Copies of this chain bind each other. A is one copy, B any other.
Amino acid sequence: MSGRPHGESALFPVEQALVTDGGGRIAPLAIGFQTYGELNADRSNAILLCHALTGDQYAAGVNPVTGKPGWWDAMVGPGKPFDTDKYFLICSNVVGGCMGSTGPSSVNPGTGKPYGLDFPVVTIRDMVRAQAMLVDHLGIETLFCVAGGSMGGMQVLQWAASYPERVFSAMPIATAAKHSAQNIGFNEVGRQAVMADPDWRAGRYLEQSVRPEKGLAVARMSAHITYLSEAALQRKFGRKLQDRSAPTFSFDADFQIENYLRYQGVAFVERFDANSYLFVTRACDYFDLAADYGGSLARAFKDTTTRFCVVSFTSDWLYPTSDSRAIVHALNAGGASVSFVEIESDKGHDAFLLHEPMFIATTRGFLEAAAAARGLRAGA
């Protein structure tokens, strides 16, 4: 994976090390990124899109690694809510990832070998620090908007807290200001599945030319169930059998849902690094924005002038609406400008990645109002 070409990249020299919350030091630091649209003359139309757990910088168009549409292709492009005719969009791979940004599969300059578990455990704030370095590198002072769902939404919240003056508007979507015990539990299952695979080799598998494919596939299968609602699974699969008219009384994938999950596992292993999976899930588990502000989430957003649009989906049980309400309450307590939209959908957590008309309309409306407030002209 690490040998594959990845669009654009910003390389920060050793002097510009990323010092992590855990006291680690990442240098040199590469940030893989993509941009869409054009930056306007006064550099006021830049939007940072933050990807979710296993997403990447290929938000729109065709992902060159998978050959499939980018993860937010429904949302990003000419005439779409994140309108590439109006905005300059930046999307970067998170630090700790495996798509061009420095992560555990990168070469550790101290040893000449892949970092593996010697890579520092990063936090959501570390991811955002790296993004801020990229935004600086691109010569942009203030972002017109920072938007993202799930782990991307955590980054949005962190941006608004860490750099309030640099964020004109923010869209945290299907996310939470801290990981719940259940969230941590599911992530831990995934990590244990990876680490249980003898081909994980205590994280040193790349040097030994093996990969913990089975463990990572199990991790993905488990996580994938949490991305969908029970209703969506029932509608899509129910108890339908796969290519057969009667059960085989065996452990074959008799049911379509089994076949689907196995496919999700296998396809994921093709595109994702197992150690990166450990690091990105860990970053989410450590996320507890209020903890950095004396336990008060409201204090994280004190005196903010950022305009917020918080979005949740009714059938999302991974980051339920109650998590979004907690964010909204904290913003309200600080007198922030905040819209909150709970979108009726039976598609579960993944709804933010799918073609949801109400979500698309909400995003378009929020951005247009923010653009008017910002004095952005169409096409400018």
A185, B239: Cβ atoms under 8 Å? Answer: no
Q: In chain A, residues 267-293, which have Cβ atoms closer than 8 Å to a Cβ of chain B?
A: 278, 282, 285-286, 288
Main secondary structure of the interface of A (DSSP, over half): helix
A189, B247: Cβ atoms under 8 Å? Answer: no
Q: Could you say which of B22, B192, B198 contacts A262, with CB atoms under 8 Å apart?
A: B192
B251, A191: Cβ atoms under 8 Å? Answer: yes
Cα separation A120 to B251 with both chains bound (whole Å):
11
Cα separation A367 to B139 with both chains bound (whole Å):
75
Given A196-B197, A196-B217, A249-B121; A230-B180 close (CB under 8 Å): yes
Q: Could you say which of B191, B217, B247, B254 contacts A192, with CB atoms under 8 Å apart?
A: B217
Q: Could you say which of B182, B191, B192, B258 contacts A188, with CB atoms under 8 Å apart?
A: B258
Is A156 an interface position by the 8 A CB rule?
A: no
Given A181-B238, A196-B215, A261-B185; A121-B255 close (CB under 8 Å): no
Chain B: minimal CB distance from A289 (Å): 12
* Identity of the chain B residue whose Cβ is nearest the Cβ of A249 in the assembled complex: B22
Is A225 an interface position by the 8 A CB rule?
A: yes
Interface size range of chain A in the complex:
35 or more
B282, A182: Cβ atoms under 8 Å? Answer: no
Bitwise, A120-162 to B at CB < 8 A (1) or not (0) is 1100000000000000000000000000000000000000000
Is A12 an interface position by the 8 A CB rule?
A: no
Is A349 an interface position by the 8 A CB rule?
A: no
Q: Which of A24, A191, A251, A253 counts the most B-chain CB atoms under 10 A from its CB?
A: A251
Chain B: minimal CB distance from A110 (Å): 18
The residues of B that contact A371 with a CB separation of less than 8 Å are none
Binding site for B on A (CB under 8 A): 20-24, 117, 120-121, 178-182, 184-186, 188-189, 191-193, 195-198, 214-215, 217-218, 221-222, 225, 230, 233-234, 236-239, 247, 249-251, 253-255, 257-258, 261-262, 265, 278, 282, 285-286, 288, 317, 320
- What are some 23 contacts across the A-B interface (CB < 8 A)? A22-B247, A23-B249, A24-B249, A121-B249, A180-B239, A181-B230, A181-B233, A182-B234, A184-B257, A185-B225, A185-B257, A185-B258, A189-B218, A191-B251, A192-B218, A193-B193, A196-B197, A196-B218, A222-B222, A230-B317, A249-B286, A251-B278, A255-B285
